[in-house]
Amino acid sequence: MSVTDRPDQAVPGIPAILPSPSADQPAGRHGGTGHPGEHPGCTPAGSAAVAAFGRVITTMVTPFDAAGKMDATAAEQLVGRLTRDGWNDGVLVNGATGESSATDDAEKRRMIVVARRAVSGTGRKVIAGVGSGNTAHSVRLAVAAHEAGADGLLVAAPYYSRPSQSGLLEHFRAIADATPLPVMLYDNPGRVGVDLEPETLRDAAQHPQIIAVMDATGDLGAASSIMRTSGLAFYSGDDMLNLPWLSVGATGFVSVAGHVVGDRLQTLLRLHDEGRNAEALALHRQLVPICAGMFRAPAAASAKAALRALGLPGGSVRLPLVDLTEEQYRDIRLDLVATVTELGVPAPRGPKDPPRPARAARTTGARKASPTRLGAH
């Protein structure tokens, strides 16, 4: 039996909403009421990206109901929850965590409309993934996203066809030309089978609407060079590397863990920007259990399991993904318990939560994305 065969209920010992920071550790740079905008921790390129996308963006699941249909009510509730009190500057819908390969174009448009309605009047951003194996299809998705109210686009390389670098460049330009929306490129060779070479990114940056890159390669050295010479803003695409990315000049995060710890990611940004490095490192380490836990399985399945453990909507995943096993779900629960305990909230283990076995150390990848990260976003 999969973990979603039972009614959703919060796990004992885990608050339905993870704890807010204490008075001496406020909820990030917004203080619970602000809006995305300029920030002293950003470069000029980063400031432009902040205005377009924000700094903390959760790549959101697409909730499905018991019949497997998109649950618009649950989606609107989840967007509202993720963007309240400054937790996230925006949400990415129709990304890999949103199971974009398993939703049709009408469902994709509906997710954008629902998200737009949920953030109306808040200043929060709705970013739409428009990835496809077909350039013309991606262009249609981009146009539809613009018409539905998206604030920006996330554009990945076409999957399966493994185009040349010149083909990638033309693909990106065609999509950027299709709407006036700002574009964030997505570099994840483990998903699509091709690298975005530095020269390709530099050439893409000449397009006025291509202003940022979401990086899931983990190659901070190459990104440092690209940031220096292209003007592109970089966003961490791997929650385990959020703080290292900030150290080389990244603007923010596109996060799976933001489903449950978006406020702490805001705090991490603030601590780093204020030069409070020891505190930033301590918080980074406190977040390790849940950040690592989101990669136990494809991110959509892990994120939905974490939401279920907190009593929040998400539902099951669609094939070809499958829901977590009981053992995997137990581990996600333990990740949540470990995280809230690290953050200073007592969360005693119940009888179904045995001590966690030792986990082998993770290694960071080079330009080729690590197989352990292929579930991201």
pLDDT of the residue at 10: 53
CB 341 within 8 A of CB 192: no
H-type alpha helices, the chain: 44-53, 72-83, 105-118, 135-148, 165-178, 189-192, 198-204, 220-230, 242-247, 258-273, 277-286, 288-293, 299-309, 326-342
- Residue 221 maps to which CATH number? 3.20.20.70
pLDDT of the residue at 295: 87
CB 192 within 8 A of CB 159: yes
- Range of the structural domain that residue 218 is part of: 3-373
pLDDT of the residue at 14: 52
pLDDT of the residue at 18: 54
Whether the bond between 180 and the residue before it is cis, its omega within 30 degrees of 0, is no
Q: How many angstroms separate the CA atoms of 70 and 66, rounded?
A: 10
Q: What is the DSSP string of 168-224?
A: HHHHHHHHHHHSSS-EEEEE-HHHHS----HHHHHHHTTSTTEEEEEE-S--HHHHH
In the chain, the number of structural domains is 1
Q: How many angstroms separate the CA atoms of 81 and 324, rounded?
A: 23
CB 215 within 8 A of CB 49: no
CA neighbor of 250 nearest in space, from 41, 38, 39, 89: 41
Share of residues in the chain with pLDDT > 70 (%): 78
Report the chain (377 residues): mean pLDDT per 10 consecutive residues. Answer: 46 51 41 42 73 97 96 97 92 98 98 98 97 96 99 95 96 99 95 91 97 96 95 96 97 97 96 98 95 92 94 93 95 87 47 39 42 46
Q: How many angstroms separate the CA atoms of 123 and 67, rounded?
A: 34
For the chain, what is the mean pLDDT? 85
Supply angle C-alpha 359, 365, 367, rounded to 5.
165
Q: How many angstroms separate the CA atoms of 31 and 341, rounded?
A: 23
